[in-house]
């Protein structure tokens, strides 16, 4: 659109302000990470980001995040299904509380989960005698990541499920499909892009999560240290360059994931004709 055709005022001002503020708060400070990491030579950088303790932290962070996102995809779909399709008492409350992980500060979630799963906690007292040690170990990391990721899946799938036309399932039923076949062959393919988007969002959030995890993880080197904690540990030892090197690995991964999420959302929008 040419400038003369614009009726509304404020384009230059609002776009200029947006770009200036975005650069000042986000873009320029992020370049500091890359310029600081560049102060390391390539072999130095490589030895920092592939040190055994750091490698162990990637395995835990990415492994637990993938697992948590997978678990959330299954149970998030069930919860979204229950909220959209069934009437039951207390539904409004459940629907509102699904967003709790977005609103509850992560440190609060962290100490609450630790209290629940510690040896004498409400859940820990039954799990520890069975040999399942959740708090102060890798399982605790998983539990915290499930907590913070759940709403991403529910809130991505729920609107798609609500907008689903009953005609599609009626047609399937008329053609002789059983309920499970209809779900599996008709409904699930429609939900697939949204499920994958929810999975990716939950995964992206889990990889970077810090506050809720560090209280319950126990932070044992090589066993239950997450990658963001490695950055904090290095910072506390004033190893700025190596902290930054690990941060670069995480940032590059986050950028790639962000691109993937964008592609998934475009796909969802195309498939269902609505924005998520």
From candidates 53, 85, 119, 184, binder to another protein by CB under 8 A: 85
Rounded CA-CA distance 198/78 in Å is 13
| C-beta of 124 vs 138, nearer to another protein | 124
CB of 108 to another protein, least distance (A): 4
Range in contact with another protein (rule: CB under 8 A) among 48-56, 133-141, 217-225, 255-263 = 255-263
Q: List, in order, residues 6 or more apart from 135 with CB less than 8 Å away.
A: 113, 114, 117, 118, 119, 121, 124, 216, 218
Is the Cβ–Cβ distance between 209 and 106 less than 8 Å? yes
Task: Choose between 54 and 155: whose C-beta lies nearer to another protein.
Answer: 155
Backbone angles phi, psi at 265, to 5 degrees: -70, -35
Site string for another protein, 97-116 (x = CB under 8 A): xxxxxxxxxxxxx-xxx-xx
- Indicate the residue among 121 and 138 with the shorter CB distance to another protein: 121
Which CB atom, from 55 or from 168, has the smaller least distance to another protein? 168
**Binders of another protein in range 176-235 (CB under 8 A):** 179, 182, 197-198, 201, 204-205, 207-211, 215, 228-229, 231-232, 235
Q: Is 260 in the site for another protein (CB under 8 A)?
A: no
Q: Work out whether 237 is an interface residue with another protein (CB under 8 A).
A: no
* DSSP E strand boundaries for 49-202: none
Token readout for 26 is 């986000």
CA distances from 3 to 15, 79, 242 (A): 14, 49, 49
């Amino acid at each position: 659109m040419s400038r003369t055709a614009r009726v509304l005022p404020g384009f230059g001002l609002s776009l200029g302000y947006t770009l200036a503020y975005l650069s000042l708060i986000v873009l320029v400070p992020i370049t500091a990470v890359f310029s600081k990491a560049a102060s390391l030579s390539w072999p130095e950088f490589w030895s920092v980001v592939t040190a055994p303790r750091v490698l162990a932290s990637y395995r835990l962070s990415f492994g637990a995040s993938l697992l948590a996102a997978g678990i959330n995809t299954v149970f998030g779909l069930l919860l979204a299904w229950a909220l959209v399709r069934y009437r039951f008492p207390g539904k409004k409350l459940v629907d509102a509380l699904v967003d709790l992980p977005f609103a509850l500060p992560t440190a609060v979630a962290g100490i609450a989960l630790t209290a629940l799963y510690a040896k004498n906690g409400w859940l820990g007292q039954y799990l520890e005698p069975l040999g399942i040690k959740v708090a102060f170990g890798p399982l605790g990391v998983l539990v915290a990541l499930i907590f913070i990721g759940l709403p991403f899946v529910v809130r991505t799938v729920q609107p798609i499920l609500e907008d689903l036309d009953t005609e599609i399932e009626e047609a399937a039923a008329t053609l002789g499909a059983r309920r499970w076949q209809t779900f599996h062959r008709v409904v699930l393919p429609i939900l697939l892009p949204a499920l994958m988007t929810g999975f990716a969002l939950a995964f992206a959030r889990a990889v970077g999560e810090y506050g809720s995890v560090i209280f319950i993880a126990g932070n044992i080197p090589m066993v239950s240290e997450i990658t963001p904690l490695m950055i904090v540990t290095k910072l506390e030892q004033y190893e700025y360059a190596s902290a930054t090197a690990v941060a670069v690995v995480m940032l590059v991964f986050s950028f790639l994931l962000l691109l993937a999420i964008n592609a998934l959302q475009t796909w969802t929008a195309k498939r269902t004709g609505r924005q998520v």
